[in-house]
Amino acid sequence: MTTLNSTQVHAFEFRASDADLDDLRARLKAARLPEAETVSFGTGRWEQGVPLADLVETVDYWHTEYDWRSFEERLGRVGQWRTTIDGVGIHFLHRRSARADATPLIMTHGWPGSCVEFVDIVDELADPRDAEAPAFHVVVPSLPGFGFSDKPSATGWGTEKIAAAWVELMHRLGYDRFLAHGGDWGGVITTILGGRFPAHVIGTHTTLAQPPPGMTTEPLTPNERRWTEDSENFRRHHCAYAKQQATRPQTIGYSLVDSPVGLLAWILDKFAEWTDTEDSPFETISRDTILDNVTLYWLTRTGASSARIYYESHNSLDPDLRVDVPAAITTYPHDIEKNPRPWAQHRFRQIVRWKAPESGGHFPSLEDPTYFVRDLQEGFAAVLSAAGIR
As separate numbers, helices (DSSP H) first and strands (DSSP E) second, the chain gives 15, 9
Is 366 within 8 Å of 183 (Cβ atoms)? no
Residue 390: the pLDDT is: 77
Q: Which has the closest alpha carbon to 147: 124, 177, 176, 115?
A: 115
pLDDT score for 3? 44
Predicted confidence at residue 190, as pLDDT, reads: 98
**The whole model's pTM is what?**
0.96
Q: Return phi, psi of residue 105, to 5°.
A: -140, 125
Residue among 282, 261, 259 at smallest CA distance from 271:
282
Query: So what's the pLDDT on residue 112?
Result: 98
Sign of CA dihedral 106, 111, 113, 115: positive
Give the pLDDT score at 320. 97
Residue type, 232: E
Q: Give the whole-angstrom CA distance, residue 18 versus residue 20.
A: 5
Distance CA 175, CA 142 (A): 18
Domains present along the chain, CATH in parentheses: 9-33+46-386 (3.40.50.1820)
Preceding amide of 112 cis, omega within 30: yes
Residues of the chain with pLDDT under 50: 1-4
Residue-level pLDDT at 1: 42
User: What pLDDT does residue 2 have?
Assistant: 42
